[in-house]
Amino acid sequence: MLTTLSSWLTHLESLHPKTIALGLERVAQVKQRLNLQPEFPVIIVGGTNGKGSVCAMLEAILHAAGYRVGCYTSPHLLHYNERVRIDKQQASDAELCASFEAIERARGDIALTYFEFGTLAAMQCFIEHEVDVAILEVGLGGRLDAVNVFDADVAVVTSVDIDHVDYLGDTREQIAFEKAGIFRPGRVAICADSDVPQVLAQHAHGIGAELWCIGREFGFVSHQGQWDFFSPVGARHALPIPALRGAYQLSNASAVLAALDALRGRLPVGNDAVRRGLVEVQLAGRFQFVPGVPTLILDVAHNPHAARSLAQNLASLQPAKTYAVFAMLKDKDMAGVVEALKDCIDVWLVAGIDAPRGASAEELAQVVREAEVSGRVEQFTTIAEALTPALTQASAADRIVAFGSFYTVAEAMTCAKACSL
């Protein structure tokens, strides 16, 4: 039997002919064989963008309230263990290997994808640690995503926009239907997108879910560096701005508090815990500032919706010459991302990603040039090779933003540490 986490992960990658294979039948069979029946509340978080922020804030607030929290997110940046956290601590290699071994024995001849295997392993860890609540981030879509094999006591859809068109459809309504699949009859379903897709509302009504929409059942009012929250349950006043950067984080934080209000009977949370969690929350790779000179900003923005948010955040900063270290996966909307950010970037340092779905520097540079950007465009084989001249050329008053994918941020993060930025 395999004995190291790295050998297990290599094994998992080889089990299924497809990296992504949507559908719940296979993973449900193995779940039943393992008798993975959580007795604690489960919060499932889906959406085009904002899932990671909502999961991080939920985890921070519930931890501050004294609960034992299990949190499963994806993808990871540097280490697989980042995906599975208990009490805000990453699961150990030994714990993950033990869970993988149990799943391997139980699955028999059922082929599971890497993500399906990981989802079952995370839940097994949470059950063994007797957590008080589990937070599960949807990997792709929702309706047919592996986390949806578990019933959500409250489900959150953060935003709905175009992404993963090969799997979810090429219209907002089609994508909304897939995301609404995490809703459950008789339970609260939360939508933090101010433009609620009609099909999402129809699906919630059709199955008998209680739909709370931002700006209607719940929402926020910001004022003088603080904000107030309201929901059908009541209000919370004079809350601190979340430690995660970006104006859109108030919408995410409102969805978080709405979810907590929906679970108040099982998981009561006081205002002190809310305030502490909002102040202490951290999430790598989301408009993250790396300490040092010049300023380095890391953002995993990999679709036009996220790129528009990144552009908005950059525009809120003091004007400065901006270098982009840019790399993407080729099955993403590269042109849409460039279009959203082309007015914010002065120098484009374009790199390839050494992964099966990675775009080459040549492919991405062509997309950038076709967008008729005003800044110069340079090509590099790797992200590290692109970041090095940025660090050399940029003055103390300039800034560098590395974005486009989790691969981009992970390699830029590693390179920055090596350079002791």
pLDDT the model gives residue 416: 83
**Mean pLDDT to the nearest integer, 224-233:** 95
Answer whether 0.85 is exceeded by the pTM. Answer: yes
pLDDT of residue 20 exceeding 80:
no
**What is the predicted pLDDT for the residue at 279?**
98
Is residue 125 pLDDT above 70, yes or no? Answer: yes
Give residue-wise pLDDT tens across range 105-114: 999 999 999 9
Is 419 a residue whose pLDDT tops 90?
Answer: no
Name the band, by pLDDT with cuts 50, 70 and 90, for residue 213: very high
Q: What is the pLDDT of residue 1?
A: 73
> Quick one: what percent of the chain has pLDDT higher than 90?
88
Report CA Rg, the chain: 21
The answer to whether 190 and 156 have CB atoms below 8 angstroms apart is yes
The residues, ordered by sequence, that sit 6+ positions from 150 with a Cβ below 8 Å of its Cβ are: 31, 36, 38, 42, 44, 123, 134, 136
User: Across residues 13-32, what is the average pLDDT?
Assistant: 83
Strands of the sheet containing 347-351, edge to edge, are 288-290, 295-299, 399-403, 322-326, 347-351, 376-380
Per-residue pLDDT tens for 260-305? 999 999 999 999 999 999 999 999 999 999 988 999 999 999 999 9
Structural domains in the chain, sorted by start:
5-280 (3.40.1190.10), 288-418 (3.90.190.20)
pLDDT band at 376 (very low <50, low <70, confident <90, very high): very high
Query: pLDDT at position 274, please?
Result: 98
The pLDDT confidence band at residue 26, using thresholds 50, 70 and 90, is very high
CB contact at 8 A, 408 and 353: yes
Give the per-residue pLDDT at 421: 52
